[in-house]
A and B are shown apart, each in its own frame.
Chain A
Amino acid sequence: MSPTTRDGGRRAPSRVARLFRSRTTQGFLFTAPLLALFAAFVIYPMAFGVWYALDADSYRALFSDPTFRQTVVNTLWYVGFAVNVKLVLALLLSGILDFQFAWIRVLAALFLIPWAVPALPGILSFRWMLNSQWGIFNHLLGKFGFASVPWLAQHDTALGAVIVFHIWKYLPFWTIIFLAGRRAIPIELYEATAIDGASALQNFRHVTFPLLRNLYLICTLLSMVFTLGDFTVPWLLTGGAPGDSTHVLATLAYRYTFQMGRLEWGLATFAVALPVTLGFIGLLLRWVKI
């Protein structure tokens, strides 16, 4: 690689020049902007947050706060229930969208709309539909002679609304992911089972699902981690109301930090979820290659 001095005019490269020609140095130089961003805005805030969250007093305060305990339960519902319902539905729907009819393509395109529309307009639309006085749902209930429901003014239905919105908004994205996964399965496998006279259910059990299992697990982990940190949907749909009963970790941390001025509580709220998050991330780092 390095030029020699034998051919007269060329000088031996100095040590500095050789250093700059090494792949490691060049690699570092090309990735330097990225590494600087990650160090400054991911690693440093992380270390800062963990440092603040080391104070045991914060945790005593948190765990004696009934709002916090309720928040943990809400978050488990949100992450455990909403994500899994959504992904099971996405897996099933991807099977429907995989049919080779022309009109299915139109359906697939329209089905993507909630994913393309930003969260905020969708949330606003849900909020108005669920409005207890002028919302369309209570209007319909009234028409059929039922009592109106204060959807966003009681804990169960308000948390339910957050879960339903989450499914509405993010179902299309995961459905396309699974659809792409299904399309990557070699067609020969299905041709082989067709010779054996396999039913659709048998195809799913013995070909589709085993081959999608890894993708499914990775998507579950990813979606759980993303949802664990979700702030926008719960905050804008309920804002924790009624009476701070529908907070999730991210919105409660916001409340502690910016509405109550308790920075250390806010950071401790995230620190509670950090071990689980890091465990999930560890699994993902082992499974996903980039």
Chain B
Amino acid sequence: MSAPGRRKRRGLQVGLSLLAIVILGWTLFPVYYMLLLSFTPTDDLFQPGFYVEHPTVRSYTYTMGADNPFVRYFWHQIGNSLVVALWAMALVAAVAALGSFAMARLHFRFRRFVSGLTLFTYVIPSSFLAIPFFKMMADYDLIDTKLSLILAMVTFAAPYALWVLSDYARSLPPEIEEAGAIDGAGTIATFLHLYLPLIRPPLIAIGTYAFLYAWNEYLYALLLLTGEPRVTLPVAMSNFLTTDNAPWNLLMAVSTVYAIPPVVLYYCFKRYLVSGLVSGAVAGT
């Protein structure tokens, strides 16, 4: 490369690095502040600063030991979050695997109707449906059961899952059905023995998506679950806010623990968590 070209490139790098510093400051500061508060002793909480003078893990030991009235049900609550998220994961994977097989491989007549309904469910804000959903669950006496929350999570996470899986399934070679037909396998056998093993990678990814969807959910959990030992972690955390002297360092320790599983999963499955939307949109051009 010529000298002016190199200088231009150097200039570009310098400009970009300056921008990068601004971007990183903006991006990371709130997260840094959360971590900082979680290590701050209660006495220092009211002297704001950019670092912790006397770092302590006491907030974490309180949380883990459930040794404070605010975190008394911590293990129950994280357990509730986990149970709901795992069920959502399993059911979304099952429902979307079945649906995607029909959508991508069977070419049946009402496919456009199903895909329209799916997209509609994906797009309609779930909060629009929350009040009728709550009323419905109250009528069936399902308030305060995990089942009601799981059903809501499966419904709202299924469209995206179906989308990603169908997309992947369409890229598989047509030989699957042919191989099945040669072996004399029926549709169900083809689905179980030929189709399912092939879609395992995206299936794991959309299971993760459903898990995260349920783990992060706040509104439906707030509406459907009551009582300290039975709520999920985000609802329990928001209940902190209603008290006047909320222990913010403890709250931030709980926040950090709550944020770790999603952060790990997002980074592992990043590619799958955005690809469906883009391919849909790009295909639409």
Contacts and interface: CB of A to CB of B under 8 A. Distances in A.
Interface in A37-57: 37-38, 41-42, 44-46, 48-49, 52
Interface in B147-198: 151-152, 154-155, 158, 162-163, 166-167, 187, 191
B27 A110 contact: yes
A96 B15 CA distance: 11
A179 B256 CA distance: 29
B42 to A, nearest CB: 12
B57 interface: no
A168 B95 CA distance: 34
B281 A219 contact: yes
B132 A45 contact: yes
Contacts of A228: 125
A263 to B, nearest CB: 7
A184 interface: yes
Contacts of B151: 37, 41
Interface string B77-100: 000000000000000001110110
Contact of B107 (A23, A280, A281): A23
A164 B243 CA distance: 25
Contacts of A107: 20, 23-24
Nearest to B235: A120
B48 A215 contact: no
B114 interface: yes
Interface in B209-239: 215-216, 218-219, 223, 234, 237-238
A125 B48 CA distance: 13
A214 B281 contact: yes
B262 interface: yes
A72 B251 CA distance: 33
A120 B121 contact: no
B202 to A, nearest CB: 14
Interface string B272-285: 00110110111111
A189 interface: no
Nearest to A221: B123
A92 B128 CA distance: 32
A226 B255 CA distance: 24
Interface stretch (A8-16, A58-66, A80-88, A127-135): A127-135
A115 to B, nearest CB: 7
Interface residues of A, number: 96
A149 interface: no
A6 interface: no
A122 B30 CA distance: 7
Interface in A89-128: 93, 96, 99, 101, 103-104, 107, 109-122, 124-128
A134 B127 contact: no
B278 A31 contact: no
Given A114-B31, A116-B262, A128-B248, A44 B136 contact: yes
Given A28-B108, A34-B118, A49-B129, A181 B278 contact: yes
Interface in B48-75: 48-50
B15 to A, nearest CB: 10
B111 interface: yes
Nearest to A122: B30
Contacts of A49: 128-129, 131-132
Given A30-B106, A219-B281, A263-B131, A129 B33 contact: yes
A113 B218 contact: no
Interface of B: 12-13, 16, 19-20, 23-24, 26-28, 30-31, 33-34, 37, 45-46, 48-50, 94-96, 98-99, 101-103, 106-111, 114-121, 123-133, 135-136, 151-152, 154-155, 158, 162-163, 166-167, 187, 191, 215-216, 218-219, 223, 234, 237-238, 241, 248, 251-252, 255-256, 258-259, 262-263, 266-267, 270, 274-275, 277-278, 280-285
21 contacts: A23-B107, A23-B108, A27-B110, A31-B103, A33-B94, A34-B118, A34-B162, A114-B31, A116-B266, A117-B259, A120-B218, A121-B252, A121-B256, A125-B252, A133-B46, A134-B48, A180-B274, A230-B127, A236-B238, A284-B119, A290-B162
Given A104-B20, A219-B281, A290-B115, 9 more contacts: A26-B108, A38-B121, A42-B121, A48-B132, A180-B274, A214-B281, A222-B123, A225-B125, A281-B120
Interface of A: 21, 23-24, 26-31, 33-35, 37-38, 41-42, 44-46, 48-49, 52, 93, 96, 99, 101, 103-104, 107, 109-122, 124-129, 133-136, 139, 168, 172-173, 176-177, 180-181, 184, 214-215, 218-219, 222, 225-226, 228-232, 235-236, 239, 250, 253, 257-258, 263, 266-267, 270, 273-274, 277, 280-281, 284-285, 287-290
Pairs A-B, 7 closest by C-beta atoms:
A229-B125, A27-B108, A45-B132, A121-B255, A30-B102, A116-B266, A139-B48
